[in-house]
Structure 1
Amino acid sequence: MSDHASDFVLQAISFDRLKGWEDDDPSSLFEGMRSCHRQITDVKPYRTGSLGLSSEDLLPLLAAAEDFKPSSPASARGFFERHCRPFLIRRKDGNPGFVTAFYEPEIEVSEKPDGLFRFPFYRRPDNLIDLDDGNRPDELDGSYVFGRLRDDGRISAYPDRREIDQGFLEGRGLEIAWAKSKIDVFFVHVQGAARLRYNDGRIGRITYAAKAGHPFSAIGKLLIDRGQIDRDEISMQSIRAWLGRNPERVDEVLWHNRSYIFFREAPVVDPQAGPIAAAKVPLIAGRSLAVDRMIHTFGFPFFIRADSLTHLDHGGPFRRLMLALDTGSAIVGPARGDIFTGSGDLAGERAGTVRNDADFVILIPKAAAGRFD
């Protein structure tokens, strides 16, 4: 484990101590694991997080999943019991883990702008470049992984949300489609993907391609700090309602979040499948987790127990095995996750109010687990 992971420890536990494990049905994870296996072996391995778990550590589990077809929830659980050992992620500051949720919105759009459809989704600009320790300017801290390559060869921070909203990218042909609402565009940026319903009936899909590089700043926290929404009432729905009541303040609030997301068009091969996110495989509704990729490596299973989160499981506590298949600017820390609830308005209603303490247990294939005893 590297120094970056020094604020938490992994505590070995047994499956019979995983409260809720005996009631879970992780059967739907196997198709996702097979997709991860193909991505790792046929395309490229996932980046190794600071915890030190690699795609190579994951491969025995994924290989075993290739031909395994669970006959029951118990047989699906038995597969993981045979191949993995569970470790509780325990933060050294004593605080619990925390989950939120995200979804794939469906937005009405037009191929061309007009008086109604005025707010674009942009492709990645060609002067947005990846940054690393070798080319990052001294004035940008290590959180900046994207920057602007200027005409004179210098590298600087890319314009932020306000500058882009005010027209920095106009006239460059980067628009994928135009939406009716600046607020809708903003929340697609937060979610990182969307289904686009064109006015001729076609369905398209966009997914994350890059970002301008500035840190994510939650507008919900801003509204709490300003006394506009009570902390206990904060949700995507309450934020949208506040913005709808205060149209003259929309720009001021949205521009507080300087982060700006660029998209790429993605094929809609299977309308029932989730969007392809950071792990380059389709997300599984209710079973995909966005994690901090600086710490964790995509493809690993996590058992999430959030007893106060009850509206996703018909009033029962949320206790599910999930796959780490995505990441996000706001997902920072060893026990911080974002649950993918699916696509469309109902999924959005489910996702918008998830803000719950949670236990995070990572399942590590047995050959690698010995390094963490």
Structure 2
Amino acid sequence: MLASFSLGAEAARRHSRSHYHRLPEVAAIPPRALPYPQLPLPFEIPGAQYLPLAWADVKGWSDDDHLAAYKTFRASCRSINAQTGAGEQKALGGSLSEPCRAAKSLEPADDTQARTFFEDNFSPLRISRLGEPDGFVTGYYEPVLEGSRTQTDVYNVPVYRRPSNLFVRGYNQASVSLPNKGSVYRKIGRRKLVPYYDRGEIEDGKIAGRGLEIAWLKDPTDLLFAQIQGSARIKFDDGGTIRLNYDSYNGYPYTAVGRVLIERGIIPKEEMSMQKIREWMAQNPDGAKELRRQNRAYIFFREVNLSDKDEAVGGQGIPLTAGRSIAVDKSLHVYGTPFFIEGELPIESDRARTPFHRLMIAQDTGSAIIGPARADLYFGAGADAGRVSGRLRHPMHFVMLVPKSLDPGVRAARLPVPDPRPSEKIAKLFPQTGPKDPAKDPAKNPAKDPAKGETVAIAGPVPLPAPRPVIEPVREPRRHMKSRSHQQ
């Protein structure tokens, strides 16, 4: 009985409250329009700072061989013109298709015409990592190595093709040139995925005897540097040659063995080069084995149909041009983008400071190439190219050539400007914030006008109307009801 009474009383109370005390419904306030439209930024590369330049401000621009740069750019255009669909979701997007269309029918006869092409179709933009004044360059090349088609006592270091159980999400296992970033798995059965073997496990024979050997080399250091470069030529005793290109990797981040030697105090940073690493590894075979395993990343190759006269194929899928092709961060940049790189490099010798001002074309990428102003300069094939590229670790100025359809200056002109600032007189009379420190109170410390040499008083903030006072409702005294007498 008590329970039913309580439930009934609660239902009556809720009904009374909802019936007599329901607040009136207020129409929804429409969202306030922003003072400025939401327009995309004119040009944006994550983590980068950039400054538009005039061509006259690009140091060394007029001294370069623009015709050689034009031929390299036009080679990239063959790949760009063949693309269909929407452009890439990057700062340049598909804007390179416009200068590539112009280059399709242009055959410049001399350097002047080639230079005019770049100046008519691009705008120079100084670019670097946010907070840093310069970019950074290294060099790479295509090693030419001695090898064997079969394993022997001398040639016993295998060069592997990609294993069939290597799996990357979003890619078919038969795809050519899997990405060099991201997770890579070893597929067990139909569903189970585990991390792939690292360098140490592969060197210990985890995938040996499966018919994956393309060729055999003499020295594991040769294989390590071929993997770092991403391509190689292998010459056999019978006079034959095969060309190898990057095909996939095992999913582990790249660790520079040179940096390990610097951190251990074995080779000073200022003396570091590929030749120094090779010399140390040759003199310390056991230490070289341990050092290689510090870089757990491992590259698998594929054989490509190229003659000895052809250069290595880069990430864009076209042969590279020695001295004109660069590898860039593919997550930020688009293949085919021209970069003018300027500074001094040790080209002629270890200590030389050779002026370098050259228009390079982005046609390749690499797992260690990270950042908006980071490039690997391609120097060709062979020992000489290896000596030059092996000693490059230098800051350089980067000027990115942006198609004029994306000219930041032109696009920024369409952005709305802020409201005009109030005049100096109004700003003095009505400052937006009053001083909190009494010592800085303008009423007690009048300011001096430097133009007139007079002391003037600056008014305080414009007083706002006082808020409406909160008036508590007056409660009427409760009337006492006379109880009726009960009849006996």
TM score, norm. by length of structure 2: 0.70
Residue number in structure 1 paired with 2:427: none
Which among 343, 347, 359 is matched to residue 397 of structure 2?
A: 359
User: Superposition pairs for residues 291-302 of structure 1, below 5 Å?
Assistant: 291-302=328-339
Residue number in structure 2 paired with 1:151: 189
Describe the SS at the equivalent of 2:334: coil
Which among 250, 258, 280 is matched to residue 212 of structure 1?
A: 250
Shift of 1:74: 2.3
Distance 1:46 1:146, change over 3 A: farther
User: Superposition pairs for residues 55-204 of structure 1, below 5 Å?
Assistant: 56-131=94-169, 144-204=182-242
Q: State the Cα deviation string for residues 256-293 of structure 1 (Å, max 9, x = none).
A: 00111111111124x33311111101100000010011
| AA matched with 1:53 | L
Describe the SS at the equivalent of 2:95: helix
What is the alpha-carbon distance in structure 2 between the residues aligned to residue 204 and residue 26 of structure 1?
Answer: 33
Q: Does the alignment pair 1:10 with 2:50?
A: yes
Q: Is the 2:81–2:101 Cα contact (8 Å) retained in structure 1? A: no
What is the alpha-carbon distance in structure 2 between the residues aligned to residue 247 and residue 47 of structure 1?
Answer: 49
Describe the SS at the equivalent of 1:148: strand
Residue number in structure 2 paired with 1:138: none
| AA matched with 1:180 | K
Q: Runs of 5+ in structure 1 lacking a partner?
A: 134-141
Q: Is the 1:40–1:46 Cα contact (8 Å) retained in structure 2? A: no
User: Superposition pairs for residues 38-57 of structure 1, below 5 Å?
Assistant: 38-42=78-82, 48=88, 51-54=90-93, 56-57=94-95
Q: Is the 1:279–1:325 Cα contact (8 Å) retained in structure 2? A: yes
Describe the SS at the equivalent of 1:307: strand
- The structure having more radius of gyration, on CA atoms, is 2
Residue number in structure 1 paired with 2:68: 28
Describe the SS at the equivalent of 1:302: strand
Shift of 1:203: 1.8
Q: Is the 1:98–1:336 Cα contact (8 Å) retained in structure 2? A: yes
- Measured on the aligned residues, the alpha-carbon RMSD in Å equals 2.5
Moved more, 280-289 or 123-132: 123-132
Describe the SS at the equivalent of 1:206: strand
What is the alpha-carbon distance in structure 2 between the residues aligned to residue 163 and residue 97 of structure 1?
Answer: 36
Distance 1:45 1:287, change over 3 A: farther
Describe the SS at the equivalent of 1:121: strand
Greater RCO (Cα-Cα under 8 Å, separation 6 or more)? 1
What is the alpha-carbon distance in structure 1 between the residues aligned to residue 48 and residue 370 of structure 2?
Answer: 13
| AA matched with 1:181 | D
Describe the SS at the equivalent of 1:273: coil
Q: State the Cα deviation string for residues 13-44 of structure 1 (Å, max 9, x = none).
A: 11111101010013223343333233234366
Q: Is the 1:210–1:262 Cα contact (8 Å) retained in structure 2? A: yes
**Aligned-pair identity (%):** 37
